[in-house]
């Protein structure tokens, strides 16, 4: 079953190219660690929420934006093996010396896929983070299986809902704090891939009017603590152009 390592990080709004270059350097060696796909997304339409949002999740400053990223693995076994390799690879220490963001405020977690429909790669992504009671896992899955079919009908390339499996507590920030999760809740990392921002915008105009999207009962999570945003894909190892522009480690970005 597909397994995701999900990330949210604060990055200086003016550091887009520096961040992309840094990510490209890692993308060069990502396959060596068993990463099937690496995706980096830059905030485009990310609203400020009343209770939670992407900015609060990483304590972003006024001059910072956020990135939504993930590594895709064939299974948790491959992900765990990759993390062990990271700790013993000297190239990772090199990468840590010039990161164009504050790693102390980056949040990270491992997520097990419970809904996956379609395939990418897309150029625009809707990212979602939600708190869900563990006892509502099946109800949450069934609701999102129905919704995924509707999203695909309106042009979404891929819909993924991934259940919190290995979501560590951070010293400064973490996924659980980001959604104010209670002891009986876990965190869901979800995304929808679209061919373009235009396709995303046109689809959502229709989706919000579709009666099939109505809950039809109690929601299996607290929607007030869910947060979401629209992101531009700035690096995707599933795309040929990413591979053509990768910068080798040890060379100027």
The answer to whether the CB of 152 falls within 8 A of the CB of 203 is no
Q: How far apart are CA 65 and CA 230, in angstroms?
A: 12
93 pLDDT band, cuts 50/70/90, is: confident
Segment 113-120 shows an average pLDDT of 95
Domain-located, residue 114: yes
Residue 81 has pLDDT above 80, yes or no: yes
CATH label of the domain that carries residue 124: 3.30.70.100
Domain-located, residue 253: no
Render pLDDT for 168-198 as a digit per residue (tens, 0 to 9): 999 999 999 999 999 999 999 999 999 999 9
Q: How far apart are CA 126 and CA 26, in angstroms?
A: 24
Domain-located, residue 252: no
242 pLDDT band, cuts 50/70/90, is: low
Domain-located, residue 251: no
Number of domains in the chain: 1
240 pLDDT band, cuts 50/70/90, is: low
Domain-located, residue 200: yes
CB-based burial label for 45 (10 Å; 0-12, 13-18, 19+): middle
Residue 152: give the domain boundaries: 3-244
Domain-located, residue 144: yes
Handedness of CA 179, 63, 102, 74 (dihedral sign): positive
Segment 115-136 shows an average pLDDT of 97
Residue 230, pLDDT score: 98
| Distance between first and last Cα of the chain | 35
Domain-located, residue 250: no
219 pLDDT band, cuts 50/70/90, is: very high
Q: How far apart are CA 30 and CA 79, in angstroms?
A: 12
């Amino acid at each position: 079953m597909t397994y995701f390592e999900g990330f949210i990080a604060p990055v200086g709004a003016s550091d887009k190219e520096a961040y992309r270059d840094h990510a490209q350097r890692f993308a060069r060696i990502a396959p060596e660690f068993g990463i099937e796909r690496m995706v980096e997304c830059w905030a485009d339409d990310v609203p400020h929420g009343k209770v939670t949002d992407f900015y609060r999740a990483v304590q972003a400053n006024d001059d910072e934006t956020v990135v939504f990223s993930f590594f895709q693995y064939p299974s948790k076994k491959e992900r765990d093996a990759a993390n062990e390799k990271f700790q013993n690879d000297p190239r990772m220490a090199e990468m840590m010396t010039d990161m164009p963001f504050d790693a102390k405020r980056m949040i990270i977690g491992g997520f097990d896929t419970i809904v996956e429909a379609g395939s990418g790669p897309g150029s625009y992504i809707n990212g979602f983070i939600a708190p869900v009671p563990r006892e509502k896992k099946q109800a949450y899955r069934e609701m999102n299986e129905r919704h995924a079919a509707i999203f695909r009908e309106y042009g979404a390339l891929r819909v993924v809902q991934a259940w919190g499996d290995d979501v560590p507590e951070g010293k400064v920030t973490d996924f659980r704090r980001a959604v104010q999760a209670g002891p009986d809740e876990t965190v869901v990392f979800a995304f929808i891939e679209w061919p373009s921002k235009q396709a995303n915008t046109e689809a959502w105009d229709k989706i919000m009017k579709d009666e099939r999207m109505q809950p039809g009962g109690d929601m299996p999570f607290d929607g007030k603590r869910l947060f979401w945003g629209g992101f531009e894909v700035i690096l995707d190892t599933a795309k040929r152009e990413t591979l053509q522009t990768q910068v080798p480690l040890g060379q100027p970005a």
